[in-house]
Structure 1
Amino acid sequence: MILIHTADWHIGQHFFDYERIEEHKIFFNWLKKTIKEQQGDVLLVAGDVFDSPNPSAESQRVYYHFLREVTTENPNLQIIITAGNHDSAARLEAPNPLLEEMNITVRGVVKRDMSGDIDFQNLLVPLKKNGETYAWCIAVPYLRQGDYPNAENYSKGVAMMYDVLYNEVGKIKEPTQAVLAMGHLQATGSEISENDRSERSIIGGLECVSPEVFDKKDLVYTALGHLHKAQRVSGREKVRYAGSPLPMSFAEKNYKQGVNLIELKENRLERLERIEFSSPVQLLSLPKEPKPLTEILTEIAKLPDGEITSTSPFLELKILITEPEPSMRHQIEDALQGKVVRLARLAPFIPKGEREMKTITYEELKTINPLEMAEDVFKNKYGSNMPENMKRLLQSVIQEVEL
């Protein structure tokens, strides 16, 4: 059995002010081709299908168009989708009666029976080949408080959830059948993106789940979502994040996008490999180290000329701010005219000046010259002395106020 593991599509995401629908369409066309070439039997989507719990009509259209096309082109393909923290679990599950006709299973809501007990069986999905159950998938969506058995904290509750599910699947599986798990969580020892809010756990480190949860005898692979960098967890080859198909921020510009391919032979893992996808839009971050505006303008002049398209590179400019420059953005936008890049982010860097902190009395405060105070603030903020013309203007304002 061949399985493809992907996650964190974030359909509908805006890269700063730019839509990414066309990028997602390119990825989905590539994914359809990959599934066909690899003769995939199962597609595992480990959460964050959409970037928002209330996705736009266009985002939903792209999603359902992909599902219809990929199942039409691959009639025997089975798809398992779990909800992530960015998804609305109920919205994702709503079309289940229709999707099940296409051999698509969506798990977003942790259901409970009439007694209020968790319906663990609903999260156990048989993976079929030629009409026969070949393996089992523990399909766990992103777990919110109240979704897991009672425990003293979140991580222990999640661990208990997987323990119970593993025991339950053990009661129904045949010895020749493998077990896989899915999850949308942050595993201890995994690497998160720098300055990327979409990956941050809601309650910080308390939400980290130990990868030891997945150290089970018959658990041959764990397909994780939530973190955008493709990686194995704490050296565990069989516990992996697929990563996002598109970089979600400039912090992710050097990540390798793609999917994980898993091949099962009866109840064991036969093959595990990475299939890379080349993101259609390049992320440029210039220069390597922050520089003053004049040097930034020189860097811009070196960029290639051309017409802007939906796949033109996104540009981040790192600017060293040593003094106020009200016309900075205007100068940059003028310099970018005719350049084949899309300005996404201006990242200001202000040098840290040394500041001596001391306590002063009210009487001492009244004796301080306002100009000297302004000069001190300017130096601490920009790391340099206030320009003479600015001092003259400020002094004239002070004199007018004092009259």
Structure 2
Amino acid sequence: MRIIHTSDWHLGQHFYGKSRAPEHQQFLNWLIEQSKSQQIDAIIVAGDIFDTGTPPSYAREMYFDFIAKLHQTHCQLVVLAGNHDSVAMLTESQKILQQLSTRVISAVSDNMAEQVFVLNSLKTEQQAVICAIPFIRPRDIVKSYAGQSANQKQRSLQQAITEHYQVLFEQAQGLSQLNQADGTRLPIIATGHLTTIGASTSESVRDIYIGTLEAFPASEFPAADYIALGHIHRPQKVTKSEHIRYSGSPIALSFDEANTQKSIVIAEFNNGELSNTELCNLPCFQPLAMVKTHLETLSEDITRVVESKNIELKNEDSSIAESPSAESSSVEAKITHDERPGQEKIWLDIEIESAEYLQDLSVRIEQIVKALPVEVLLVRRSKKSRQQMPSHEKKVTLSELSVQEVFDARMALEPWDSDEQQQRKTRLNSLYLTIAEQTQLANSSKQSLSEHSEAHSSSTSKTEQK
């Protein structure tokens, strides 16, 4: 059996005012082509299908359209909810999507059969047992008691997560050997959407505090044949293990991921165990670049980075055209790559090492990039430069700070010495993350309503014209 492991699509994301819809659509087209050319039996999406719990209508349409097209290829789909996803939204379409070869696991369930099941290939006689674990919310698996310290809560939560994995894994082991009269077993594929200790994160990853647990030890995972993880956007092995992996996001979700090669994982199973894993690199659908510079070398550094990025993109086009697998999927893959919207425009983040605040900086940058194939989305001083400014001279604009940085700056003013103060800090962190998520959901709802209103107005206008 051959499966694709992917995660963290974040459909519906807006990036400094820019829609990622064209990139996401090209990725989904590319993924369907890969499922055909690589003879894939199933695709596992390990969480964060959407960027918010109330994604815009076009993102939902993209999701359902992908499922319908994938169903026609006889490739199955397993969708796990992440911390960005709405349990209610994913649950509402669960039953109907089962008719389209899609299993959606939106939350931890008391019904074990919803999380542990045998996946039968629609193309071959191959089978695998899926131990499907979505993003775990503390209320789903543990009860808190008054008087518990932060350390006690952390230990009890880690133990509850470990036990949840173990209970499901034992059920999976039973299914793995059931009906296998020849003594063989079915491979067990587990999932997860969380941070493991030692994982390399990026700016776009929102910290998950499952209660008070910041990271889960990889040693506590059960002995599954493959563990497909989501939440971390950089592709990586966990504890250098071939069988425990983050697939990473399919597109760069922050500028510090600009030079990260995005990929999917193709895992192959034979004779009841993992036989091979390989990374399949994605084409870059929208180039991003960071320019770290000084005022004195601003023009030279911007030009150098842009020229380097253009060479990189040309080399990538050549490698796609010459790829051995291009014969089967070259037509659509090459077309979508060459016609990507904004190919001529590289999105730039310019970070300047300077403690000075120059009012004419935007004008200077505008003149520099005037003849270059770029669009500047962000201009800011480096964090180090801002910190080195004397407090009485600091002129930091909100545009240079993330919401997280504003919150962290305020928290830094408080003493956190005693256990009681540490508990208060934990509660405030949890409250902040809740409010941030609610605000994001509210903004997304406004965006959806605005798009719906524009679509309705356009439809009404066309009707009147007729």
**TM-score class normalised by the smaller sequence:** 0.7 to 0.9
What TM-score does the superposition give when structure 2 sets the normalisation length?
Answer: 0.68
Counterpart residue type for residue 377 of structure 1 = H
Matched, 1:192 2:201: yes
What residue in structure 2 maps to residue 22 of structure 1?
A: 22
Q: Which of 159, 167, 180 pairs up with 2:170? A: 167
Distance in 1 (alpha carbons) for counterparts of 2:108 and 2:356? 55
Structure 1, residues 47-78: CA drift from partner, whole Å, max 9, x if none?
00001111000111111111111221x12x11
Contact 2:157 2:211 in 1 (8 A): no
The answer for unaligned runs of 5 or more in structure 1 is: 112-117, 356-375, 383-403
* Superposed displacement of residue 351, structure 1: 6.4
What residue in structure 2 maps to residue 276 of structure 1?
A: 281
Relative distance call for 1:123 and 1:203 in structure 2 (3 A) is: closer
Counterpart residue type for residue 251 of structure 1 = D
Contact 1:126 1:133 in 2 (8 A): no
* Superposed displacement of residue 92, structure 1: 1.2
Structure 1, residues 268-304: CA drift from partner, whole Å, max 9, x if none?
11111111112212221124xx301x53245456757
Number of aligned residue pairs: give it: 344
Structure-to-structure mapping, 1:116-265, within 5 angstroms = 118-130=110-122, 134-149=127-142, 152=153, 153-174=156-177, 175-193=184-202, 195-196=203-204, 198-202=205-209, 206-216=213-223, 219-265=224-270
Relative distance call for 1:252 and 1:119 in structure 2 (3 A) is: same
Structure 1, residues 170-214: CA drift from partner, whole Å, max 9, x if none?
233324211110111111222112x33x34123697231111232
Counterpart residue type for residue 234 of structure 2 = K
What residue in structure 2 maps to residue 377 of structure 1?
A: 392
Contact 1:245 1:279 in 2 (8 A): no
Contact 1:149 1:161 in 2 (8 A): no
Distance in 1 (alpha carbons) for counterparts of 2:341 and 2:127? 46
Q: Percent identity over the alignment?
A: 27
The structure in which a higher percent of residues are helix is 2
Distance in 1 (alpha carbons) for counterparts of 2:351 and 2:114? 50
Contact 1:192 1:199 in 2 (8 A): no
What residue in structure 2 maps to residue 88 of structure 1?
A: 86
Relative distance call for 1:126 and 1:281 in structure 2 (3 A) is: same
Structure 1, residues 27-63: CA drift from partner, whole Å, max 9, x if none?
1111111110110001100000001111000111111
Relative distance call for 1:191 and 1:322 in structure 2 (3 A) is: closer
* Superposed displacement of residue 147, structure 1: 1.5
Counterpart residue type for residue 140 of structure 2 = D
Secondary structure at the counterpart of residue 173 of structure 1: helix
What TM-score does the superposition give when structure 1 sets the normalisation length?
Answer: 0.79
State the Cα RMSD in Å. 2.6
* Superposed displacement of residue 7, structure 1: 0.4
* Superposed displacement of residue 163, structure 1: 0.6
Distance in 2 (alpha carbons) for counterparts of 1:354 and 1:334? 28
Contact 2:166 2:222 in 1 (8 A): no
Contact 1:244 1:257 in 2 (8 A): yes
Structure 1, residues 111-137: CA drift from partner, whole Å, max 9, x if none?
3xxxxxx22221112110258671110
Contact 2:10 2:49 in 1 (8 A): yes
Q: Which of 291, 294, 306 pairs up with 2:294? A: 291
Relative distance call for 1:377 and 1:46 in structure 2 (3 A) is: same
Distance in 1 (alpha carbons) for counterparts of 2:22 and 2:185? 43
Relative distance call for 1:263 and 1:348 in structure 2 (3 A) is: same
Distance in 2 (alpha carbons) for counterparts of 1:22 and 1:222? 30
What residue in structure 2 maps to residue 108 of structure 1?
A: 106
Secondary structure at the counterpart of residue 102 of structure 1: coil
Larger mean Cα displacement after TM superposition, 207-216 or 233-242: 207-216
Distance in 2 (alpha carbons) for counterparts of 1:156 and 1:164? 12
Secondary structure at the counterpart of residue 251 of structure 2: coil
Distance in 1 (alpha carbons) for counterparts of 2:46 and 2:389? 48
Distance in 1 (alpha carbons) for counterparts of 2:125 and 2:370? 60
Contact 1:159 1:213 in 2 (8 A): yes
Distance in 2 (alpha carbons) for counterparts of 1:64 and 1:351? 45
Structure whose CA Rg is larger = 1
Relative distance call for 1:211 and 1:89 in structure 2 (3 A) is: same
* Superposed displacement of residue 332, structure 1: 2.1
Contact 2:137 2:210 in 1 (8 A): no
* Superposed displacement of residue 98, structure 1: 1.7
Structure 1, residues 155-177: CA drift from partner, whole Å, max 9, x if none?
22211110110112223332421
Distance in 2 (alpha carbons) for counterparts of 1:354 and 1:60? 46
Larger mean Cα displacement after TM superposition, 239-248 or 261-270: 261-270
What residue in structure 2 maps to residue 57 of structure 1?
A: 57
* Superposed displacement of residue 321, structure 1: 3.0
Distance in 2 (alpha carbons) for counterparts of 1:186 and 1:97? 30
